[in-house]
Chain A
Amino acid sequence: MNYQTTERQHQLAARYVLGSMRGQARHKFQRLLMEQPKLRDEVTFWELHLNELAAQLPEQQAPKSTWLTIETRLGWRRGQSSNPLEKKAGNGWRWLTGALAALLVLVMLNQTLLTPTPVPEADRIAVIQNSEARTLWLLEQREQLLEVAAVGAIEPLTNEDYELWMLPASGAAPISLGLLPQQGRRSLNVPANVDLQTIAALAVSREPLGGSPLDVPSGPVLFTTDFITVSGS
Chain B
Amino acid sequence: MSTPEQLGRQLQQVALGDREAFKQLYLATSDKLFSVSLHILRRNDWAEEALQDAFIKVWHSASDYSTQRGSVMSWLISMVRYRSIDMLRNKGNQTLGSDALPDIPASEADHLDIKLSASENSEQLKKCLDELQPSTRQSIQLAFIYGLSHHEVSAYLSEALGTVKSWIRRGLDSLKGCLQR
Contacts and interface: CB of A to CB of B under 8 A. Distances in A.
Given A61-B31, A62-B31, A66-B30, A54 B38 contact: no
A49 B179 contact: yes
A52 interface: yes
B23 A53 contact: no
B44 A18 contact: no
Dominant secondary structure at the A interface: helix
Contacts of A66: 30, 34, 48, 51-52
Contact of A19 (B60, B85, B121): B85
B68 A44 contact: yes
B169 A11 contact: yes
Nearest to B146: A19
B45 interface: yes
A95 B115 CA distance: 41
A161 B74 CA distance: 43
A76 B23 CA distance: 12
B69 A44 contact: yes
Contacts of A48: 70, 74, 121
Query: B-side binding surface: helix, strand, loop or mixed?
Result: helix
Chain A interface category by residue count: 35 or more
A53 B77 CA distance: 10
> Size band of the B side of the interface?
35 or more
Given A52-B121, A57-B35, A18 B115 contact: no
Interface string B44-68: 1100100110011001100000001
Contacts of B101: none
A70 B145 contact: no
A51 B124 contact: no
Contact of A70 (B52, B116, B119): B52
A74 B35 contact: no
Contacts of B144: 17-19, 50, 53-54
B26 interface: yes
A66 B31 CA distance: 11
B164 to A, nearest CB: 10
A67 interface: yes
Q: Which of B75, B115, B144, B150 has the most CB of A within 10 A?
A: B144
A83 interface: yes
Contact of A62 (B48, B115, B179): B48
Interface in B104-122: 114-117, 119, 121-122
A83 B60 contact: yes
13 contacts: A14-B176, A19-B85, A19-B147, A22-B85, A48-B74, A51-B78, A52-B119, A53-B145, A54-B36, A57-B35, A57-B36, A62-B31, A132-B45
Interface of A: 10-11, 14-15, 17-20, 22-23, 26, 44-45, 47-63, 65-67, 69-70, 73-74, 76, 83, 86, 132, 134, 152-153
